[in-house]
Structure 1
Amino acid sequence: MSDAWVCSVLLTYEGDPAPAHRYVDGDGHTRELSRAQLLDEVRASARRLTACGGGPGSRVALLAGDPGRFVPAFLGALWAGLVPVPLPPPPVLGRRDAWIGQLAASLAVVRPDLVVAEEAELALLPATQARRLSYASLETARPEADVAAALTLPAAHRPDRTAYLQFSSGSTGRPRVVVATAGSVTANSLAIMRDALAADPARDHGVSWLPLHHDMGLVGFVLAPLAVGVPVTLLATRLFVRDPGSWMRTLSDVRGTITGAPNFAYALATRRTGGDRLARLDLSAAHTLLCGGEPVSPRTLRHFADAHRVAGLDPAALRPCYGLAESTLAVSVAPRGTAFHPDRVSWARLRDHDLAAPCGDDEEAVEVVGCGPPLPGHEVRVAGATGLPRAERQVGEIWVRGPSVCAGYLDGAPDRPTPVTDGGWLRTGDRGYLADGVLHPAGRLKDVLVVQGRNIDPQRVEWAAEAVDGVRAGGAVAFTRPGTDTEEVVVVAECRPHGSGGVAGAVRETVSQRLGLSVADVVAVGPGTVAKTTSGKPRRQEMRRRYLLGDLPPALVPSRPTEAPRSSP
């Protein structure tokens, strides 16, 4: 398929009975589409959106819940030359007021012409000038014959034309709107599927539960697979939230070869799947399990690999990766078939000198996960505060350059996005270092804890806190507060209801033993309290704000002490 823009690829699906998509909704109901059927649904969606008032360049906000409804509508918008804007559906559990506020802010920024949601969601939508449509009413719309005839072929997409608008994860503040172009999406899709994954439509099958309003789910498992024709099974995110075991069961059932998720999902899948269920899985076909979207914990990957070995999983299938929406999705991916070996570096030199020096026998080590070399045709630079490149193994800000970098942010005039690059380089705001050409991310610049002149990556503190019995995996967040002489470290830890007794002391002791760092305050909170981005990363600055305002609800009354930390990462 020489022309990789997704709409052009879809055009080649005419009359093709090969499988394209398999949708599993939140209730577990499955619907399968051949390539020809997918093309028919995309064309039908394009015609209906046009009949409902959409025209070339019109923005259509789509709440990304049921994949069987969202994906054809999203692709139909691209086909018709509209600009789709994927937005999150209501949360499965709690935080509905926060979702409504976030949605109101998002709609105010993108100012869509149409908003498409499920019938029950329409009543929850904040005020907007856009025309509101339910997916059900969209599916029954009857366009005029001239509209149908005009959309037999897809709208032309020049490489620099806006394809869709993607909200960034907002890990350091408010989410921003990324302008993804046809050229950047095509470049990243091919770099992922052809160069990094060597995907083969005849043998490969993707599986994903990832939110489709987020770049990892949308690009990684809808747009990129379409660019080369790889079939995909898409599970509703709420199905995974309710039953994390559904992810690996589906991968086993369909003999899936490619999947991916953030670090926390691997921890959750390991914790929620018992040994008897693991023994019934067959993961021997899987060659790529991507892990990205947040810092990768070596402990999490080891536990996942060890637990799923009985299901035939090759540990080399676990492939850490790094990316961000401003570069469409992926920047680097660990090579296929390479055993997972974290970089063991001196904790003291990393902490005190921003130098990832190999650890000596008499030094305390810390492990940093490598996320592979930059994708072909892309460059990565690690820069210091002045913007000059830093030497091998020196930690600095990760800069990216290449054809996947987006057109800019939708901050000002809609036709003139604010550039994201500086001299062609995208400054990611992430810290990391290069070693032997491999990128090793090491946290967010704005999240770094500066205590007594030392720079400490907060995820190290969080991973130590999560090793304490009673603290939920992925439920710890670390930040600083003003102190008398220096900033002081605070840890907020999600605990089981009635199970927070002794957690504070155990967290302080574990962090002190492992990192030589004093924790001034530990706040035990209930499950679901820690604010996170759409990709599952903790929103540390938001949690710091809530802490300083005294706006953190405590966990329920503790019932038993908790002292012993779990095994080290």
Structure 2
Amino acid sequence: MDTLVASALDNSGAHARGITTGAPEQPRRRTWNEVHSEALRIAGALRTPDGRPAVGPGDVVAVLASDPALIAPTVQAVWLAGGSVTMLHQPTPRTDLAHWAQDTLRVLGMIEARLVLLGAPFEDLADVLEQHAMPYRKLHDLAGTAEPLAEPAATSEETTALLQLTSGSSADPKAVRITHGNLYANMRAMVTGAELDAESDVLVSWLPLFHDMGMVGCLTLPMATGLELVKVTPADFLVRPLLWPELISSYGGTVTAAPNFAYAIVGRRMARADDGDFDLSTLRFALNGAEPVDPEAVRAFTEAGARFGLRPESMVCAFGMAEATLAVSFAPLNRGVEIDTVDADELEKRRQAKPAGAETTHTRRFALLGRALQGLEVEVVDDSGAVLGRRKVGALRIRGQAVTPGYLTMDGPVPGQDSAGWLDTGDEGYLVDGQVVICGRRKDVIIMGGRNIYPVDIERSACEVDGVRAGNAAAVRQEPGSRRERFAVVLESGVAGDDVAEKALGKEVTARVVDAVGVRPSAVVVVEPGTLPKTPSGKLKRAATAELVPE
């Protein structure tokens, strides 16, 4: 049996640790042993009336559900049956269901799904699947009185465990293939890097389970290692962001994780909270990853949390990607956010991250993201593939046990590694004493007057203007690759629709951007909150955002 499933079995009954869902209104706690027992019943129910397996080794099973209490045993059940799991992206109240259905059916065809498992609140979407002859089962029908699976299916480290959906660089979907060996290696590296202790740590999470940080880091890892988990849904967090620190306070959370935008939102709201509202003194590991780390947002969060016992050194910046299963590097523990301040002119014109001196007038600040985790390597190379030295900016590539063997695409399987095992991350960055620094995505870099300008610098300056929603500004290239390359800024604001207020906001944003990067945007477009296109993990989709800029 592969090491991932063996770990889940070994830890399911090792102690009384488990998962709490439904907090705070209707908390329900089950031990991991109870989750495992339910998984065996679900696996047993994944059989035809004559007892043959409806899901067996190599079969792809898609899951569409929001309740972690249902998803945890379901995912384990599919693995026990020998299949792989694909978490489908969930429609939101604003989603056009016709478009969602079309996109989802394309995904199901691409991954050659054997079965779709539906859970609340998505059972009504069964009609869409029936119309297209897609087999499905409803989860509430599976966990009843079925005979438990007698023996887990034989799998190996090379067997696919997850097909993690990603939009890639185009509108076409693709899925990152994660093997059981990939999963086990990355979880083992994260346990070591974060110094996780299944006997004492409590993980609190609201992250979506259709994203790698939520699925791998905040469900699979605790389920396989026996770590205590408190799990709510993204919708719970979005409706009431302060639920996150409330749960950390109530359950003595020691570990949590989120993208930078979430820390920015909660930092602002905690700053207005009353003394004594929270107790964050137990938190020792707050991972910040999945999108660029904004040092100012982190500072605002840690300063707001200090009143409630939060230690600033609990913040841990990280680099991760689905192609590495999840985590590539963690910053050193108990040191807080470490910033590298560099000469912006040297960075933009000579592609060198030279430390800023007292005489430097134009600077950039980047968070150090730590050294590669156990079993992984990170290199920086130039366009020819030659390895670059310390503080030289180039393309980041990774290699190691947790790196995907490849992708499933609409055109078929595509390898993820070159002949030497390296995977191109698509990021541009550099190394400082072995620690990773990311400047931005190579495809998004704006080239003007021989300078490489990174969208994140423009976006951070725009978000400093009052009236711009934090984390909701996007700098997009126009005429990329031409001599006339320009950029526009698209931002969300509550003043959208008020021509006078929009114009005033645009002028202020333009001035702030010019002050920050020395160039003027061709346009500032103000849109209503919730308009900017984003990935399921909350990252800006700059290519799609460019379509919001008038010709």
TM over 0.5: yes
Assess, with a 3 A threshold, how the Cα gap between structure 1 residues 433 and 387 changes in structure 2: closer, same or farther: same
Name the residue aligned to 1:89.
Answer: 90
2: distance between equivalents of 1:360 and 1:256? 40
Is 1:57–2:58 an aligned residue pair? yes
Secondary structure in 1 matching 2:404: coil
Structure 1 residue 91: Cα displacement: 1.5
Structure 1 residue 358: Cα displacement: 0.3
Q: Tell me the amino acid that sits aligned with residue 507 of structure 2.
A: G
Structure 1 residue 456: Cα displacement: 0.8
Secondary structure in 2 matching 1:50: coil
Structure 1 residue 545: Cα displacement: 3.5
Pick from 316, 322, 327: which aligns with 2:324?
327
Name the residue aligned to 1:559.
Answer: none
Name the residue aligned to 2:135.
Answer: 131
Name the residue aligned to 2:164.
Answer: 166
Q: More deviation in 490-499 or 398-407?
A: 490-499
| CA distances 1:149-171 after superposition (whole Å, capped 9, x unpaired) | xx233222211111121113536
Name the residue aligned to 1:221.
Answer: 218
| CA distances 1:183-218 after superposition (whole Å, capped 9, x unpaired) | 11000000001x211111111011111110110101
Q: More deviation in 375-384 or 107-116?
A: 107-116
* Number of matched pairs: 537
2: distance between equivalents of 1:427 and 1:133? 38
| CA distances 1:408-466 after superposition (whole Å, capped 9, x unpaired) | 1113797xx42101121011101110011100011111111111221111010000111
1: distance between equivalents of 2:416 and 2:308? 44
Secondary structure in 2 matching 1:522: strand
Contact 2:306 2:312 in 1 (8 A): yes
Secondary structure in 2 matching 1:461: helix
Pick from 516, 529, 532: which aligns with 1:530?
532
Assess, with a 3 A threshold, how the Cα gap between structure 1 residues 71 and 227 changes in structure 2: closer, same or farther: closer
Contact 2:158 2:179 in 1 (8 A): yes
Q: Tell me the amino acid that sits aligned with residue 427 of structure 1.
A: D
Pick from 455, 470, 473: which aligns with 1:473?
470
Q: More deviation in 344-353 or 124-133?
A: 124-133
Assess, with a 3 A threshold, how the Cα gap between structure 1 residues 306 and 59 changes in structure 2: closer, same or farther: same
Q: What are the within-5 Å matches in structure 2 for residues 152-301 of structure 1? A: 152-168=150-166, 170=168, 173-193=171-191, 195-273=192-270, 275-277=272-274, 279-301=276-298
Q: Tell me the amino acid that sits aligned with residue 103 of structure 1.
A: T
Assess, with a 3 A threshold, how the Cα gap between structure 1 residues 200 and 169 changes in structure 2: closer, same or farther: farther
Is 1:42–2:14 an aligned residue pair? no
2: distance between equivalents of 1:44 and 1:545? 48
Q: More deviation in 420-429 or 55-64?
A: 55-64
Q: More deviation in 108-117 or 352-361?
A: 108-117
2: distance between equivalents of 1:385 and 1:64? 43
Secondary structure in 2 matching 1:533: coil
Q: Tell me the amino acid that sits aligned with residue 159 of structure 1.
A: E
Q: Tell me the amino acid that sits aligned with residue 442 of structure 1.
A: C
Assess, with a 3 A threshold, how the Cα gap between structure 1 residues 165 and 304 changes in structure 2: closer, same or farther: same
Q: Tell me the amino acid that sits aligned with residue 291 of structure 1.
A: N
1: distance between equivalents of 2:246 and 2:95? 27
Contact 1:107 1:128 in 2 (8 A): no
Structure 1 residue 272: Cα displacement: 3.2
Is 1:374–2:372 an aligned residue pair? yes
TM-score, normalising length from structure 2? 0.92
Q: Tell me the amino acid that sits aligned with residue 398 of structure 1.
A: L
Pick from 108, 113, 120: which aligns with 2:124?
120
Is 1:69–2:67 an aligned residue pair? no
Contact 1:343 1:370 in 2 (8 A): yes
Secondary structure in 2 matching 1:505: helix
Name the residue aligned to 1:512.
Answer: 514
Q: Which runs of 5+ in 2 are unaligned?
A: none
Q: Tell me the amino acid that sits aligned with residue 160 of structure 1.
A: E
Q: Tell me the amino acid that sits aligned with residue 189 of structure 1.
A: M
Name the residue aligned to 2:401.
Answer: 403
Structure 1 residue 35: Cα displacement: 2.5
Q: More deviation in 111-120 or 27-36?
A: 27-36
1: distance between equivalents of 2:429 and 2:445? 12
Contact 1:196 1:333 in 2 (8 A): yes
2: distance between equivalents of 1:85 and 1:177? 9
Secondary structure in 2 matching 1:410: strand
Assess, with a 3 A threshold, how the Cα gap between structure 1 residues 278 and 206 changes in structure 2: closer, same or farther: farther
2: distance between equivalents of 1:13 and 1:358? 47
Q: More deviation in 34-43 or 307-316?
A: 34-43
Assess, with a 3 A threshold, how the Cα gap between structure 1 residues 366 and 15 changes in structure 2: closer, same or farther: closer
Q: Which runs of 5+ in 1 are unaligned?
A: 551-569
Secondary structure in 2 matching 1:250: helix
| CA distances 1:269-311 after superposition (whole Å, capped 9, x unpaired) | 1233453356321111111000110111001100100010111
| CA distances 1:384-410 after superposition (whole Å, capped 9, x unpaired) | 111111111111111001100012111
Assess, with a 3 A threshold, how the Cα gap between structure 1 residues 215 and 171 changes in structure 2: closer, same or farther: farther
Structure 1 residue 338: Cα displacement: 1.2
Q: More deviation in 448-457 or 458-467?
A: 448-457
Q: Tell me the amino acid that sits aligned with residue 427 of structure 2.
A: D
Assess, with a 3 A threshold, how the Cα gap between structure 1 residues 394 and 382 changes in structure 2: closer, same or farther: same
Name the residue aligned to 1:420.
Answer: 416
Assess, with a 3 A threshold, how the Cα gap between structure 1 residues 487 and 127 changes in structure 2: closer, same or farther: farther
Q: More deviation in 458-467 or 109-118?
A: 109-118
Contact 1:116 1:133 in 2 (8 A): yes
Contact 1:290 1:319 in 2 (8 A): yes
2: distance between equivalents of 1:234 and 1:51? 32
| CA distances 1:69-96 after superposition (whole Å, capped 9, x unpaired) | 1121111101111111111222154555
Contact 2:295 2:367 in 1 (8 A): yes
Assess, with a 3 A threshold, how the Cα gap between structure 1 residues 112 and 270 changes in structure 2: closer, same or farther: same
Structure 1 residue 377: Cα displacement: 2.2
Assess, with a 3 A threshold, how the Cα gap between structure 1 residues 438 and 127 changes in structure 2: closer, same or farther: farther
2: distance between equivalents of 1:97 and 1:460? 37
Contact 1:63 1:86 in 2 (8 A): yes
Secondary structure in 1 matching 2:328: strand
Name the residue aligned to 1:443.
Answer: 440
2: distance between equivalents of 1:480 and 1:341? 30
Secondary structure in 2 matching 1:401: strand
Contact 1:289 1:319 in 2 (8 A): yes
User: How high is the sequence identity, in percent, across the aligned residues?
Assistant: 34
Name the residue aligned to 1:564.
Answer: none
Secondary structure in 2 matching 1:311: coil
Name the residue aligned to 2:9.
Answer: 11
Pick from 540, 543, 554: which aligns with 2:542?
540
1: distance between equivalents of 2:12 and 2:341? 52
Name the residue aligned to 1:491.
Answer: 489
Assess, with a 3 A threshold, how the Cα gap between structure 1 residues 465 and 196 changes in structure 2: closer, same or farther: same
Q: More deviation in 36-45 or 48-57?
A: 48-57
Assess, with a 3 A threshold, how the Cα gap between structure 1 residues 127 and 518 changes in structure 2: closer, same or farther: farther
Name the residue aligned to 1:561.
Answer: none
Q: What are the within-5 Å matches in structure 2 for residues 338-353 of structure 1? A: 338-353=335-350
TM-score, normalising length from structure 1? 0.90
Contact 1:169 1:534 in 2 (8 A): no
2: distance between equivalents of 1:318 and 1:169? 29
Secondary structure in 2 matching 1:299: helix
